[in-house]
Chain A
């Protein structure tokens, strides 16, 4: 009986202990549960954010900027490529924290990257910043050498930089890409979006070293869409020689600036376009005058002077108010709005003149007379309206050409309405190229349209584009206006322009000696320069020339603008014409021109 009671007591005690521990266990589990509920439910967002902050890596995958090539005979050659280079920078706080030997580091930086030791030492100890750029465009070899020194606090970041295998060639046409990756000036600016592409994105849970964990759900990787590769219409050989000619003539004519354009009149393709002085786009940051960055051929509009007479004649011929063989009595001066329009002394006095002699002698009165014929014999609303229509709607002056260039200017054409400020005189001036602002490119395209049968093609530089999928699209010539002048007028303009070159050769400009196998024509322009305080400078002129070179047909139209050349003679004849002569010979001598077959 006693044994049974004792055993029952022991069992009860055990049950109690078990129950106690069980209760304790439940309590602990309960505490854990509450805590887990707090951490995982109530504080869910906080801890998720904190975890992702460490684990989730987000970065932009940069798109590769499109390359640019140009024609070199049958093949194309690269003129703008990308190269991965490095920016080396220091974190002065880390340098202090890791006790990096500043003097030693500065010596090693100078020996590897070049530059002054003191300069580096100063940068390494900079205050109030954690990012000091020590060098840009560091090559992989230089970076590897720097890494081998194990200098704590020095870092590098990889970047795509534009590189120019052809040096400074076509610099102003190309433009450059700033450190921020933005295209500036030229093609780089005009086609920045197309060249830049679209960056991709990587969002992934990574390990400590930043390697994405493949098993992680929700990783996002969007591939970048690289920029389009471009092939330009530019012929590199032609471009190189045009630049050489401009550099030579810049010295010879003691010019303040030169621009020249060579265009295919049958398509609008720009074969070469250059300005002088120029710059090296790889060293754009060393240029002090930002004006140098501009492609003056499209961004600098000036009064073109007498080259405009070609267009005045073409417009008058197209309206049927004159004929190619028309003659008239030239009074040698016209008084318009109390101002006298006259010719240069060498042109002689009042006498009978022809359309050919008006162009050859560059008679201002002849151009004014042609304008008068558009108004039925005087400069009036009809004449002004007709001339304005030809200038803006036919020859496209005052409009952007929409060539793929940054900072293009539309120029200026005064409207024909009477503005009370001597509008008839303004229009008389416009007939011989004063009081109107045009760019070399606009003049090239306009003259092309009067000798190619009467079609105005939009000038363009991009021959083809290849997108990131490898699809190539060739640019088709775009017709802006047909019937700029009639085909008959167009056919008449070519011999008139050839006549001018022949006559100038006979006058002693020996460099205008061309083989009969080629057709060469053109017109000089000596333009007075407007004085900002009113009127024109008495002693400052720009020299211009617009002409063509071809065989059976005109194959190239060339325009030259020479800013204030210091020459002994008229700026057009001695500052513009010799450059045209050099370019025409260059084209013929290098076999770019197909000779006549008939």
Chain B
């Protein structure tokens, strides 16, 4: 494999960018809708589970160093199984990227480009993603490393600049809709940890594969803190968030920031930074999809696929007839895709592959595949 290599910080920022991109659109509100005032407690709870799952994933990958989930699938079920899993992950990345892009562009249109067709707003992003993917993965990760800290700063800034508007009492009733809703059906909020998907593809890209555990745990840890901060901002600011669906809750929170009459409308700067983050997220998703397709189709290079994936994302993004469908796809389907593909399917593959390896021991077949 000839992958450009990522250092520890770049790898962490790539995992984080998947979490961050979804929080910029409607993820925080979805979490609050499902667990109401208990969302912060629920996030601590599902965050703990996410950490346990990450430790499990890292442990399961220990026997497959420098392999991604596609290689592990091949080891487990042969070429056909590898292709099936590859197609599932390509679908996962392109679908999520397309729907997120569609919703983000819908909101951009409402706020800044009322007279421009959404096709052209989408096109701008697709062009940026195609150009970004002309370079190496390292290029995308380095740009992402520059953009991501700014995004994190904007979210921190939104929280601290709005302290005057925060009502900490909104955390009550402490159990939200009840124990079952918070801790049992609230497990659905594990869907917020879609960034784990990148962990399955990271090992071949790492400069120091021995730091895989550290990278995975640190990124999940930061993601949990980041998610709690986002949720706290929105939950404490808007009593109405459970009754009224506002587009991009973080954007709505940013609109409240004013420092006297001189510093106003800072949300415009935030939107600019968030656009760059969305481009980074899309570029990472396209790159992972391209590499996966290259692997399952035994292609020598993935570069000619750039335009195909660009057009695929563009087309899927245009499929929803209206905003209600695209929001449904992002709010409901995304969550189940994460739980189904990222958490259940992938961990099962890893578990079975480990069992197979244990059963076969150091047989010739095993050595040959790996």
Partners in one complex: no
Chain B contacts to A: CB under 8 angstroms:
none
